[in-house]
Amino acid sequence: MFTAFDYIYRDAGNFKAFGTVALEGELDEAGQELIRAQLSSGEFFIAEQIGVPPLYRDLHRWSGGPTSDDHCWHEFLGFRLLSEREKGTEAIDAREFVARFAAVDDWHEGLSPHFWIV
């Protein structure tokens, strides 16, 4: 069984890049709720902190690199079931993924190269 963790990076100009992390094993309701509870404002997370691929680089191919619209937050979109074929080549163990979120005591913006000190 595989579960998708779908997410998005939306810069301040509202340009978007979408991503999916395949999770192997059962991601039960308790695990899903734990992840949702750990999100900032119920939807935001820092990709580098939980070890998922940051998506802002997908926008950099159009902009030529980082811009003043970049920031450090990604948005959680939802969970869905994946078939073996859809999962791609790599998958993260579902229990490990939940543990990564459980370990978050506070989101650390400085882990992202787009943390701007004003």
pLDDT tens-digit readout, 46-76: 999 999 999 998 888 888 888 888 899 999 9
Walking along the chain (118 residues) 10 residues at a time, the average pLDDT comes out as 95 94 93 98 97 91 84 96 78 96 95 70
Residues 6+ apart with CB under 8 A from 4: 20, 21, 22, 23, 79, 80, 81, 82, 86
* Domain definitions of the chain by residue range: 2-111
User: Tokens 């619209």 — which residue?
Assistant: 69
| Residue-level pLDDT at 116 | 64
Residue with tokens 């404002």: 41
pTM of the predicted protein model: 0.91
Determine how many CB atoms are found less than 10 A away from the CB of residue 103: 10
Q: Using the 8-state DSSP alphabet, how is residue 72 labeled?
A: S
